[in-house]
Amino acid sequence: MKIKTILHKTVPIASAIRNAYIDFSRMDVSVVSVVSDIVRNGKPLIGYGFNSNGRYAQEGIIKTRLIPRLLESRESDLLTDDGRNFDPTKAWQIMMRNEKPGGHGERSVAVGVLDMAIWDLVAKIEDRPLYAVLADRFNAGLANRDVYVYAAGGYYYPGKDIEQLKAEMLSYLDLGYDTLKIKIGGASLSEDLERIKTVLKLVTNGQALAVDANGRFDLPLALEYAKALDDFNLKWYEEPGDPLDYDLNTMVCQASQTPIATGENLFSMQDARNLIRYGGMLKDRDYLQFDPALSYGLTEYLRTMEVLAKFGWSRKRCIPHGGHQFALQIAAGLGLGGNESYPHVFQPFGGFADNNPVENGKVRIPDAPGIGIELKKELLKVFPE
Amino acid sequence: MKIKTILHKTVPIASAIRNAYIDFSRMDVSVVSVVSDIVRNGKPLIGYGFNSNGRYAQEGIIKTRLIPRLLESRESDLLTDDGRNFDPTKAWQIMMRNEKPGGHGERSVAVGVLDMAIWDLVAKIEDRPLYAVLADRFNAGLANRDVYVYAAGGYYYPGKDIEQLKAEMLSYLDLGYDTLKIKIGGASLSEDLERIKTVLKLVTNGQALAVDANGRFDLPLALEYAKALDDFNLKWYEEPGDPLDYDLNTMVCQASQTPIATGENLFSMQDARNLIRYGGMLKDRDYLQFDPALSYGLTEYLRTMEVLAKFGWSRKRCIPHGGHQFALQIAAGLGLGGNESYPHVFQPFGGFADNNPVENGKVRIPDAPGIGIELKKELLKVFPE
pLDDT tens digits, B88-139: 999 999 999 999 999 999 999 999 999 999 999 999 999 999 999 999 999 9
Average pLDDT over residues B216-234: 98
Kindly determine whether residue A103 and residue B108, on different chains, have CB atoms separated by under 8 Å: yes
- As a whole number of angstroms, the distance between CA B17 and CA B25 comes to 7
In chain B, what residues touch A22 (CB-CB under 8 Å)?
97-100
Compute and round to an integer the Cα radius of gyration of chain A.
20
Q: For the purposes of burial, counting CB atoms within 10 Å of the CB of B192, is it exposed (0-12), middle (13-18) or buried (19 or more)?
A: buried
Confidence at B156, pLDDT banded by 50, 70, 90: confident
Whether residue A17 is contained in a domain is answered as yes
pLDDT tops 80 at residue A18: no
In a domain, A29, yes or no: yes
Q: State residue A385's pLDDT score.
A: 85
Return d(Cα A14, Cα A11) in angstroms, integer.
Answer: 9
Instruction: Report the mean per-residue pLDDT for chain A.
Output: 95
Same domain as B231, residue B286: yes
- Give the long-range contacts of residues B170-176, CB within 8 A, separation 24 or more: B170/B202, B171/B343, B171/B344, B172/B343, B173/B202, B173/B203, B175/B151, B175/B343, B175/B357, B175/B358, B176/B357, B176/B358, B176/B359, B176/B360, B176/B361
Pairing of strands A362-364, A209-212: unpaired
B282 or A21, higher pLDDT: B282
Instruction: Give the three-class secondary structure for A111.
Output: helix
A338 to chain B, any CB pair closer than 8 A? The answer is no
φ and ψ of A188, to 5 deg: -75, 160
pLDDT for the residue numbered B20? 67
Give yes or no for residue A17 having a pLDDT over 90: no
Start-end of H helices in chain B: 59-61, 67-72, 88-95, 107-125, 130-138, 162-175, 189-200, 219-229, 246-255, 269-278, 297-310, 325-334, 377-381
The verdict on whether B183 is a catalytic residue reads yes
Indicate if B181 and B310 belong to the same structural domain.
yes
Among all residues of chain A, which has the CA nearest to that of B241?
Answer: A101
Which one-letter amino acid corresponds to residue B59? E
Of A184-198, B6-20, B189-203, minimum mean pLDDT range: B6-20
The length of chain B is 385
Please say which residue of B127, B161, B176 terminates a domain. B127
Mean pLDDT over all residues of chain B? 95
Structure confidence at residue B44 (pLDDT): 97
Write down the H helix ranges in A233-350: 246-255, 269-278, 297-310, 325-334
For the residues of B110-134, what is the DSSP string, one character each? Answer: HHHHHHHHHHHHHHHHTTSBHHHHH
Half-sphere exposure of B179 (CA within 13 A, CB side): 19
Mean pLDDT of A311-316: 98
Cα A333–Cα A369–Cα A58 angle in degrees, nearest 5 = 80
Reported as a pLDDT band with limits 50, 70 and 90, residue B22 is: confident
The pLDDT of residue B286 is 98
Give the CATH number, domain containing residue A282: 3.20.20.120
Shared domain check, A174 and A25: no
| Residue B299 and residue B174 share a domain | yes
User: How many CB atoms are located within 10 Å of the residue B73 CB?
Assistant: 18
Between CA B337 and CA B320 the distance in angstroms is: 9
> Cα–Cα distance between B209 and B205 in angstroms, integer?
8
Residues A203 and A122 placed together within one structural domain of the fold: no
Q: Is residue B25 part of a domain?
A: yes
A132 in any annotated domain: no
- Sequence letter at residue B142: L
Residue A88 is predicted with a pLDDT of: 98
Q: Which residue among A100, A267, A277 sits closest to B54, beta carbon to beta carbon?
A: A100
**Per-residue pLDDT at A344:** 80
Query: Which residues of chain B have a CB within 8 Å of the CB of A59?
Result: 60, 64
The CATH number of the domain where A90 resides is what?
Answer: 3.30.390.10
Closest CA to B235 of B177, B280, B291, B186: B177
CA–CA separation, A131 and A274 (whole Å): 28
pLDDT per residue as tens digits for the range B312-357? 999 999 999 999 999 999 999 999 999 999 988 888 888 889 989 9
Last residue of a domain, one of A85, A101, A127: A127
Question: Do A286 and A376 fall within a single domain?
Answer: yes
Same domain, A119 and A171: no
The verdict on residue A188 lying in a domain is yes
How high is the pLDDT of residue A348? 87
A273 CB neighbours in chain B (<8 A) are: 244-245
> For residue A350, how many other CB atoms are within 10 A of its CB?
22
Total number of domains constituting chain A: 2
Supply the range of the domain harboring residue A186: 137-380
- Flag whether pLDDT at A251 surpasses 80: yes
Would residue A385 count as lying in a domain? no
For residue B7, being part of any structural domain is answered with yes
Peptide bond into A348 cis (omega under 30): yes
Predicted confidence at residue A24, as pLDDT, reads 79
Residue B159 is predicted with a pLDDT of: 73
Compute the distance between CA of residue A348 and CA of residue A332 in angstroms, rounded to an integer.
22
List all residues of chain B from 271 to 300 with a beta carbon under 8 Å from chain A. Answer: 271, 273-274, 277-278, 294
Same domain (yes/no): A55, A151: no
pLDDT at A346: 82
Residue A207 pLDDT = 98
pTM of the complete model? 0.97
Nearest CA in chain A to B18: A98
Q: Check pLDDT > 70 for residue A263.
A: yes
User: Tens digit of pLDDT for each residue in A131-178?
Assistant: 999 999 999 999 999 999 999 999 887 777 899 999 999 999 999 999
Is A324 labeled as catalytic in the residue annotation?
A: no
**Does residue B132 form part of some domain?**
no
Quick check: B57 contacting A, CB < 8 Å? yes
Q: Cα dihedral sign for B264, B269, B271, B276? A: positive
Query: What whole-number percentage of chain A has pLDDT above 90?
Result: 90
Check residues B361 and B158 and name the one with the higher pLDDT: B361
**Which of A101, A127, A153 is where one domain is finished?**
A127
- Whether residue B309 sits in one domain with residue B288: yes
My answer on whether A11 and A142 are in the same domain is no
Same domain (yes/no): A58, A175: no
Residue B95 and residue A49 in contact, taking contact as beta carbons nearer than 8 Å: no
Closest CA to A48 of A30, A68, A71: A30
CA gap B144, B364 in Å, rounded: 9
Residue A305 confidence (pLDDT) above 90: yes
The active-site residue out of B124, B183, B324, B376 is: B183
Reply yes or no on whether the pLDDT at A14 is more than 90. Answer: no
**Is pLDDT above 90 for B73?**
yes
B307 Cα to chain A: minimum distance (Å): 13
Query: Is the pLDDT score of A334 beyond 80?
Result: yes
pLDDT at A49 over 90: yes
The reply to whether A74 and A206 lie within a common domain is no
